[in-house]
Structures are given as structure tokens and as C-alpha cells.
Structure 1
Amino acid sequence: MSAVRTVLGDVAPESLGICDAHDHLYLTSPQLPDQELDSTAGAARELAAFRAAGGGSLVQWTPYGMGRHAGDLPELSRTTGVHAVAATGLHQAAHYAPELLALLRAGDLGALFIRELTQGIGDTGVRAGLIKVAGGFHGLDAHARWTMEAAAEAHRATGAPIAVHLELGTGALDVLDVLCGELGVPPARVILGHLNRSPDLTLHQEAAKAGAHLAFDGPSRAHHATDWRMPDAVRALADAGFADQLLLGGDTTTAGARSVNGGPGMPHLLRRVRPRLQLAAGEGVVEQILTTNPARAFAAEWA
């Protein structure tokens, strides 16, 4: 039976409600010095603000080794009433100490992903519900291919969806060539993130025709100069018949971007982005993107 694997256990896909399909309650990286999301109190306030705006579920794309706080996620979910999905996987090499990457390379990365999906993250008992990997700028390096091979292995063993960080929104077709063409992952189990950062409408349609889910995420990021083009991209894809493959997320990555700290944060997705997209694509399409599509994208027949 198809289910979404949340931090409180497997749930029926339709129970997700309105879903922020890509965000972060916790995130640490050497690429974000002094901007870490590592406060449980701050995460609780932000998640409660998202709930007050009408949110029902959130998918945290924070992967292995980047401060997931997996053990804190169940209580946050219970307290706020928001379903939360945790991730396994690995980001770009720049987000990790060389010593950690060397240790991971000496082991079995696919087995690590499978263990976190089926047994739990560390000793928390919290099982991941998706696999996060990352491409590069207009291409894939050896690190990306290694992580994608492990992700494909974990997908085959569990059925888990694979979510992909596209660097500045580029490289979508390269990712699909590797994950789907070479490694045999069904395109419908792949979620391509950050497509709003590269508003190439032709490329968007090619990725959609391949069968992948397309995530438009990052309106909380102040430096994204292409956000104003997102409604046109969403409308174009919906008009072309791909509305059932679209997802929306906030991708809050720094403490300063949180609404409780004066930034747009997670509620911005529902307070401002949703009505703007409704003007462009219609209320029915936006409702589908926020509820029906994530229920399908993040569900799996878990092995």
C-alpha cells in the first residue's frame, strides 16, 4: 500500500494536506558560516507559523552530515501538528569535510541510505522518507555520479523517491540521463529542485516530458533574481499539460530568512506565493500543486 514515510511513521498520502515540498528546519554547512539553522526553538516557532498559515506538511531536504537533528523532528511534528519528512542522501562535496567524505568512500554509501530509510537515522529510530542528491552547474562531477549511483541502489531496494538539488537550476537533463537513462530510476520517482533559478521554459518542458516532478522552490532566498518569472513558468507548464508534475517549496536555508526573525520564511509560500500563482495559473492548479502532487511524489510502496 502506498504511503508517505514521515518522522512519526508511514501515513496515507492524502493526509499531508498543504505541503511545503522542499524546506529546512535544520541545516548546517561550511558554505553557510554563521547562518546555521540549528535552533530547535527557532524551528518550532517557524513550523508553528507555517501551520498557522494553513500548512499541513513539510519535506526537509537536509541530507546526511548537514545537521538534520533527526531526533528532534518527531516532537516538532507532534507539537505543531505538521507532518514532517526527513531525508537521507548526500549533498555536493563542498558541504562536507574531506575527512568525512573519505570515510564515506571507504564504506558502502548505498547501504547507508538504505539503512536510514528502513531502520532509522543513527540511533533515533526516525526513518528517512526520501533520498537527496545534488548535481553541479550545467553538469555532473564524479561526486555527483557516485551519490546518484548510491541513491539509485537505495531506490531499487526501498521505492523511495529521489530529490535532486540542481545547482542554480541547471543540469536537469544531465541528471535525468544518469538517474533514469543509465541507472534505471523511473522518472516519476525523481524530483528536480530549484528550476525557478533557471527559467528556461523549453528545458522545463523537456524535463516534464521525460516524466519527472519539477519543484519550484526558494522564494525565501533573497538573492534569487528570477523569482518574478516563476508564475510564468508554472503557467506555461500547466498550459502544456504538466500541472500534475509540479511542486512548490520555500527552501529556507538561513536563520535570517525565517519569518520569526523578520524574513519571509515558510509562511511566505502560502501568504504571498500562493495568491500570486493563483493569478497566473488559477486556484485549481495551485491547489493541485500544493496538495495532490506532493501526496503522489513523496509516496512509495515501501519495501
Structure 2
Amino acid sequence: MATVRTVLGDIPPAALGVCDAHDHLFLRSPRLPGQELADPAAAAAELAAFRAAGGAAVVQWTPYGMGRGATELPRLARESGVAIVAATGLHQAVHYAPEVLDRLRPDPAARFVAELTEGIGGTGPHAGMIKVAGGFHGLDRHARHTMAAAAEAQRATGAVIGVHLELGTGALDVLGLLCGELAVPPDRVILGHLNRSPDPVVHRAAAEAGAYLAFDGPSRAHHATDWRLPDALAALAEAGFEDRILLGGDTTTADARSVNGGPGMPHLLRGHRRRLELTLGAELVTRFLTTNPARAFAAVWPDSRP
């Protein structure tokens, strides 16, 4: 039976509830100096604000080596009442010191599988998804290496692969590699940040291929603005792809947290949701937030198979 693997154990997909399909409670990167998400108390406050706004689950896309806060996540989930799904995988090479990548380079797939089936660090909570990343309009050697490892881990575990698309670009290149050369089932791929490149041709092609499309995070400088999102989602829904759409907040800096005056995780439900409902209707938006992530993040895990 398919279940969603959270940091407190596996749950039925229907129990996930209203889900922020892409966000971060903890995150550290040399690309974001001084903006680390490293404070457990701030993470707890953000979860409480999200819960108060009607949220029930958060998928943290922070992968290996970027300060996932794995030891804190189970406690935060218990205390907040919010289900948390953690990630394994690797981001772009620029987010790591060379020695971190050197430790994984021989066999990253083995690490991904272990974190999905044995727990992060061997004794920590289980990861419930795989996170990898493309580049700006292309795939470099690191991306190809990590995606090959992700595909191997996906075959071994059934876990879904979430892909950071740099500024929303390169979606079809990613699908060509993962679902073409590497034979990952398209419905085991989530393409992230498509709101940052509001190209209806690419959105339609990715949906037709069978991938999930994540529209995650409020607008930032030089990104597509929020007012274009309702039209993009309406076009996909009208074409029959309403079952492919996921929504997320993608809070990546301390300044962006609601407790620090930013939009933070509650914005998904207080800002995005209300605005989308005016255009698309409450029933369809609820499907994006509940039914679709429940299906996208569920898997028949190897350690629970008969």
C-alpha cells in the first residue's frame, strides 16, 4: 500500500491534508551568507503560523549537506501537529564546499537509498523524497551525475524526485534526461519553480509528459510576478491537467520568514490561496493543496512491501 513517508513515520496519503509541497524549515548555503535557516525556535514559530492558517503538512526540500535540521524535525512535527516530509539528494554544486561533494561522489545513490530506507545518519528520521537540481537553461556534469543517482534511488525505493529548476528553466531538458535516458516514470518527477518562467508551451509539454508541476514561492525581484499565476494554472486546468499541479512557499532565507516580517510559509494559504480561489474557485485550489500532493509524495516503500 502506498504511504507518505514523514519524519514521524509513514501515513496514509489522505492523512496529509493541506500541504505546502515545497518549503524549508532549515537551510544553509554559502550562496546565502547570513541568511541561514538554523534556529529551531524560529522554525517552530513558522510552523505554528502555518498551522494557524490552515496548513497540515510541509515538504522540506533541503537535501544532504545543507543543514536539514534532521534531528529537530521529529520534535517540531510532534509539537506543531504539522506532518513534515524530509528530503535526501543534492543541490547544485555551488551550494557545497568541495569536501562535502567529495564524500558522496563515489556512490551518491547509496546515500540517497539509505536515507530513504534506514534514516538520515542511520538513526535519524527517514527522508521521504529525493531533491536534485538543474542549471540555468541546461544540465551540467554535476546535475547529470546527481540525477543519475536519483534515478537509481528512485528505482530502488519508489520515492518521488523533486527538481529545482534554476529560475524555472530547463524543464524539458530535465524530463529528457530523467524520464528519457534514465527511464524514471514521469509521475515520479516534480518540476519546481515553474512560476518563475511562465512559459505556457513548456508548462503544457511537461504536463503532457506526465510530470508534476510545482508553482512554489511568492514573487521576488526579477522573477515572474504573482499576478500571472492564476492564468498559468487556469490554462493547465482547462487543458485537463489540474491533477498535475502542486503549490508551495519555498522560504529560503531568514528575512523571508513571516516571523521576521516576510511572507513565509503562511503566505501560501493567506495570500496565494485566497487570490487563486477568486479566479479558479475554492474546490480546484483545494485539490492542488490536498489531493495532488497526497498522490505525488506517496510511494510503496521497499521496507514496507509484503
Regarding TM over 0.5, the answer is yes
Gaps of 5+ in 2: none
CA distance in 2, matches of 1:56, 1:222: 29
**C-alpha contact 2:27 2:62 (8 A) present in aligned 1:** yes
Q: Note if 1:70 corresponds to 2:84.
A: no
CA distance in 2, matches of 1:25, 1:228: 26
Q: Note if 1:86 corresponds to 2:94.
A: no
Deviations 1:251-297 (A, max 9, x none): 00001111111111000100010011111212111010000000000
CA distance in 2, matches of 1:88, 1:255: 22
Q: Note if 1:299 corresponds to 2:266.
A: no
Q: How does 1:235-246 map to 2 (within 5 A)?
A: 235-246=234-245
CA distance in 2, matches of 1:275, 1:50: 15
**C-alpha contact 1:117 1:127 (8 A) present in aligned 2:** yes
Match of 1:5 in 2: 5
Q: Note if 1:204 corresponds to 2:208.
A: no
Deviation beyond 6 Å, 4+ runs, structure 1: none
Letter in 1 for 2:171: A
- The structure-2 alpha-carbon separation of the partners of 1:220 and 1:7, relative to structure 1 and needing over 3 Å to count, comes to farther
Gaps of 5+ in 1: none
CA distance in 1, matches of 2:118, 2:221: 37
Deviations 1:88-116 (A, max 9, x none): 000000000112222322x3110000000
Q: TM-score, structure 1 length as denominator?
A: 0.98
**C-alpha contact 2:115 2:122 (8 A) present in aligned 1:** no
Match of 2:56 in 1: 56
Q: TM-score, structure 2 length as denominator?
A: 0.97
CA distance in 1, matches of 2:121, 2:104: 15
CA distance in 1, matches of 2:80, 2:223: 29
Deviations 1:23-81 (A, max 9, x none): 00000000001000000000000001000000000000000000001010000000000
Match of 1:166 in 2: 165
Q: How does 1:25-64 map to 2 (within 5 A)?
A: 25-64=25-64
- SS at 1:160 equivalent: coil
- SS at 2:148 equivalent: helix
Q: Number of aligned pairs?
A: 302
CA distance in 1, matches of 2:280, 2:171: 23
Give aligned-pair identity as a percent.
73
CA distance in 1, matches of 2:225, 2:89: 28
CA distance in 2, matches of 1:236, 1:28: 36
CA distance in 2, matches of 1:47, 1:258: 10
CA distance in 1, matches of 2:159, 2:244: 17
CA distance in 2, matches of 1:223, 1:115: 38
CA distance in 2, matches of 1:96, 1:281: 40
Q: Note if 1:120 corresponds to 2:119.
A: yes
